[in-house]
Amino acid sequence: MRVPMIAGNWKMNTTVSEALDLVSAMKGELEKINSVEIAVCPPFVSLAPVKELLRDSSIKLGAQNLHFAEKGAYTGEISPLMLAELCELVIIGHSERRQYFGEKGDLINKKMVAALNAGLTPILCIGEQLEEREGGKTEEVVSAQLREALAGIEDPKATVLAYEPVWAIGAGKAATGGQANETIAFIRQLIAGAYNDKKAREIRILYGGSVTSANAAEFMQQPDIDGALVGGASLKHKEFLSIVNQTAIVKYKK
Ligand code: PEP
């Protein structure tokens, strides 16, 4: 069975002291749940202090972005090697980076290669815009995004995929469990085609887009959904804990 994962994407929220408070508020309860892989992805500046707070903890730490070069004259950027000392995971291809920072397939592919080379586990985000869904183009869009991001990557190692329909992110309007599962099952087939059936069975594919404690169970009941990438609700410790708890209950109920 694939171990479910719940990852919190804090985006550009929390100062260092707020990040430490948020982790402190939920750490003890989260650590009691060992059937779900739990990760938090705070802003870069909080990675080192949060790492210290999570020393010896089962809670994993992730970054929200990286540059593809190991080092060099890229003012303001953060390299994979810098991250590899601090965290295990890195979010790549988030729709906000595609939308506000013009990130496209070839850049996302370079970031994927760099992250994997540095020993980081990417959480690769893909998903369609509202017009694309309404135009019946969801499968075409996610196929292209996946193909571009994984181009030339022979072994994506432990890469986690996150299907995040852009129209559901931060919108308060999630997809339905059925809609999300349908597209995620399709993405799993794409992985089978690009790699093999074993990889498709093993790879974890999360849903992301307005997941809260009120709808988490609906997503977790779906057979192809292996967890969630949670934005807004991951900033409220009780919400995040409830999502993790419900995931543990729903996924292991049989
Ligand atoms: C996200 O940032 O990846 C996300 C899914 O955000 P939200 O849960 O707020 O929609």
> What does the pLDDT look like over 42-75, one tens digit per residue?
999 999 999 999 999 999 999 999 999 999 999 9
Q: Return the ligand 1 atom nearest residue 169 CA.
A: 10
The pTM of this model reads: 0.97
User: How many Å apart are CA 237 and CA 250, to the nearest integer?
Assistant: 20
Is the distance from the beta carbon of residue 62 to the nearest atom of ligand 1 less than 6 Å?
Answer: no
Is the distance from the beta carbon of residue 99 to the nearest atom of ligand 1 less than 6 Å?
Answer: no
Provide mean pLDDT across the span 226-254.
Answer: 96
Is the distance from the beta carbon of residue 193 to the nearest atom of ligand 1 less than 6 Å?
Answer: no
What pLDDT, on the 0 to 100 scale, is given for residue 254?
Answer: 59
Provide mean pLDDT across the span 102-119.
Answer: 98
Provide mean pLDDT across the span 102-131.
Answer: 98
The percent of residues in the chain predicted with pLDDT above 70, rounded, is 100
Q: Which comes out higher in pLDDT, residue 171 or 129?
A: 129
Question: In the structure, what pLDDT confidence band is assigned to residue 113 with cuts at 50, 70 and 90?
Answer: very high
Q: Return the ligand 1 atom nearest residue 9 CA.
A: 2
Is the distance from the beta carbon of residue 210 to the nearest atom of ligand 1 less than 6 Å?
Answer: yes
If we measure between CA atoms, which residue out of 167, 208, 162 comes closest to residue 187?
162
Provide mean pLDDT across the span 132-145.
Answer: 97
164 counts as catalytic: yes
Q: Which comes out higher in pLDDT, residue 26 or 254?
A: 26
Is the distance from the beta carbon of residue 229 to the nearest atom of ligand 1 less than 6 Å?
Answer: yes
Question: In the structure, what pLDDT confidence band is assigned to residue 172 with cuts at 50, 70 and 90?
Answer: confident
Provide mean pLDDT across the span 237-251.
Answer: 98
What pLDDT, on the 0 to 100 scale, is given for residue 134?
Answer: 92
| Distance (Å) from CA 230 to ligand 1 centroid | 5
| Distance (Å) from CA 233 to ligand 1 centroid | 8
